Structure 1
Amino acid sequence: MLNQPTDSYIEQQLKDNLPLTHLQVINESHMHGTPTDDSHFKIVIASEAFAGKRLLQRHRTINKLLSDALAGPVHALALHTYTPDEWQQLAQAPESPACRGGSKLDN
């Protein structure tokens, strides 16, 4: 159980544990018709900690830091992980796709 709003928890965990040059935590729950408003998040993050790491290693780093949220309220997590140089070249994460259904409200 988290002791604060999920997006605040995510931001704090990442800020406390990684050297960040960019961080966006975007709550996309409203796009998915879920019964809660803390279930779908997109993280756009740039950190020197990702230098020399493959995408899977970057995602595992984030998943480990956010294990409490992933075991609780977070149903879906879109990760866009970059080094500072990669982010400087890109400066924008891909748009999230539209929800394809599967809402718990449909049952």
Structure 2
Amino acid sequence: MVSLKQVETMIQTKLPDAHVVIRDLTGGGDHLEAIVVSSEFAGKTKVIQHQMVYDAVASAMADESIHALALKTYTPEAWQKAGQPA
């Protein structure tokens, strides 16, 4: 099993400027939600943004440490427009 901190680190390794929040949705540690805010997402579709995050956690998904990952991705500007702190 992979820890929430390990998932956060995996994402930040691929997206160094990312603000990442990881939540365990079921208490079992394998159904997670990730909120990722990164300037790397600028000009990219949601599909591409999600692919970037999935690429970052591919090894944990391949060995089924993560069974499901719900994603919410934002550019810093979109995050602020959503009323979230900078």
TM-score when normalising by structure 1: 0.70
Residues 1-107 of structure 1: pairs in structure 2 closer than 5 A: 5-18=2-15, 19-20=17-18, 22-30=19-27, 37-71=28-62, 72-90=64-82, 91=84
Question: Unpaired segments of 5 or more residues in structure 1?
Answer: 31-36, 93-107
Offset from partner CA, 1:24-74 (integer Å, 9 cap, x none): 1011123xxxxxx11110001110000000011001101111001111221
Report the count of equivalent residues: 82
Identical columns (%)? 28
Q: Distance in 2 between matches of 1:77 and 1:13?
A: 14
Runs of 4+ with >6 A deviation: none
Whether the 8 Å CA contact 2:41–2:75 is kept in 1: the answer is yes
Opposite residue 47 of structure 1, the aligned amino acid is S
- Three-state SS of the structure 1 residue aligned to 2:33 is strand
Q: Which amino acid aligns with 1:59?
A: H
1:84 partner amino acid: P
Show structure 2 runs of 5+ residues with no match: none
Residue 83 of structure 1 deviates from its aligned partner by: 0.1
RMSD: 1.6
